Amino acid sequence: MTFNDDFYDGIFEKALRSEYSQLTTLKVDEKAFFKNSIFDVGNVSGRRKLLDAELLAVWQFGGTAITQDVLATCQLPQPDESYCLVSLDMISCPKQCSAFLYQMMLSSRKKAKSSMSLILAEAYKEFCRGDGKCPGVRQLDGSCEFGGPRKNCMLVRLPEEKFPSTATWNQIGQYCPVSYVTYMSHLAINNAY
C-alpha cells in the first residue's frame, strides 16, 4: 500500500508482479482512504500512518501486512480461517472483520502516539481480558535476527541492503528454501538473456 504523497518508485512492485500475477496493490489518497473510518481524526504521519492503514485494510479485506524488512519463513503456520496471526512485524487474517483487529484499531486510535508493541499490549489486555485465552488470534514471537538460529523462527529481520547480496540470498535459503529457489530460477532466467 502506498499513499499518493509518498515517494514511490515502483521497483519492488514490478519485481513482485513478475512473480505473482494476482498481486493487488493499493495506491490511495490518504484522506479518502481514512474518511468515515475509525481513523478519520487528526493528522498522523510516517510509519504510524502506514500502521493505521495496514490495520484498516486487513480488517476490511483480510490478507497480510508485513514490515518491509522482514521475511516470513517456512516455519510460519499455515493459514487457518479460525484465527489471525499477529506480531510486531506482521498482521495476517484470512477473513475480513476480525474482532481482534477491530480491538487493535480501537487501541491504536486511543493511543495515537503509541508504538506497535504498546498497541498490541493494549489490544491483548482488552480483548483477552487477562486470562490469556484469545479466540481468533495467535500471537507470534518477535522477529529473529538475520543469520541467527533458524529453529522456531517464523519471521526474520533482513539486513539493511539496497539490493540483497548473494550472501543474503544464501542465508534466506536457510530460512525458506522456496524463496531461495524462486530467486535462483529468476536469476538464471535473467542471466540467460
Distance in angstroms (rounded) separating the CA atoms of residues 55 and 39: 10
Opening angle at CA 72, ends 97 and 54, nearest 5: 35
Share of the chain above pLDDT 70, in %: 73
Mean local confidence (pLDDT), 76-91: 81
* pLDDT for res 82: 77
CB atoms within 10 A of CB 134: 19
* pLDDT for res 8: 47
Distance in angstroms (rounded) separating the CA atoms of residues 168 and 187: 14
pTM: 0.69
pLDDT-derived band at 81 (thresholds 50, 70, 90) equals confident
- For residue range 150-168, list pLDDT tens digits in order: 777 788 888 888 777 788 8
Distance in angstroms (rounded) separating the CA atoms of residues 51 and 39: 11
Q: In the predicted model, is pLDDT for residue 79 greater than 50?
A: yes
- For residue range 47-62, list pLDDT tens digits in order: 677 788 888 888 888 8
